[in-house]
Amino acid sequence: MLLFDNFSNHCLANTVEPMRAANMLSRRPLYAWRFLTPDGAPVHSSSGLQVAPHDRLAAGRGAMLLVMPSYGFRTLDGWPTLRALRAAAQRYPVLAGLDTGSWLLARAGLLDGHRATIHWEELTRFAETFPQVETLRERFVLDGPRITCSGAMAAFDLILHLIGRDHGQLLALEVAQLFMTRDSARSHDAPAGGGTRQVNRAVMVMQDTLEQPLPIAEIARRAGCTQKTLETRMRAAFDATPQTVYRRLRLNLARKLVTETDLPVSEIATRCGYDNASALTRAFRARFGQPPRGLRANG
């Protein structure tokens, strides 16, 4: 992640935290990241947060470079920055411009012939300045080895989309649940449509009834479809049955209560829809590889 002075804390957090959560929820190192600055010196966000980078841009190498300026980005598009970005394009197969990072990539000629977006306040000027770029009013745009994103809130949607694309929509759902997004049911690779809306409604019903689970037939009824239809559409969206999705949501809540509260396991079982502590412990061990008390003891 290439940071400049006056970068957005919000954009940075919405980029890093979903990846951290994906690592935690999957119990695998799916993502690793390093912070870079043009010269290796610390930078300050727009609100004054100082970040000490791991290295300078010229020393960086990886699968993707996320370019993250924010305020004052037009003062950054001089020859040194553009030359450094062109050189970085030889070391990173994918380049992503977040917030106003699209402007720097376009100025360096790295978005020529690509579709792209930028923070919507800059969209008209961006389109006028870079006619060789197909400018779109979208939250984020993926076009081959180029990714662009319109702002801090959209950065979360982008990373969630990438998690779902690369590691499955069920993991993306779990990440969204962790951050308590109301649209966490959204299948981020699926086009909008009746089937997607029914899946969304079903997952929202599940999230609202974790303490007192409903039969899948009732969830389907509340989602406006039959149980068979819901099963088919959930498999298409998450590659999992409704029962599996429901169980994962309940167990993720259980893990959160185990790690963040001092509630007894019996109380956690009740809050997560299990008849007793033994039933929760069996399901918890099968999902996370250890019982609730073991996870709590291990921190």
Q: Return d(Cα 274, Cα 292) in angstroms, integer.
A: 13
Question: pLDDT band at residue 72, thresholds of 50, 70 and 90?
Answer: confident
Q: What is the pTM of this model?
A: 0.84
Domain containing 27 equals 2-160
Contact at 8 Å (CB) between 8 and 101?
Answer: no
Tally the domains of the chain. Answer: 2
The confidence score (pLDDT) of residue 190 equals: 42
DSSP strands (E only) in 63-122: 64-68, 94-98, 115-116
- State whether 31 and 115 are in the same domain: yes
Q: What share of the chain is helix, strand, coil (3-state, %, to 5)?
A: 55, 10, 35
- State whether 41 and 121 are in the same domain: yes
Which residue, of 160, 180, 198, is where some domain finishes?
160
pLDDT tens string 88-132: 999 999 999 999 999 999 999 999 999 999 999 999 999 999 999
Which residue, of 160, 187, 222, is where some domain finishes?
160
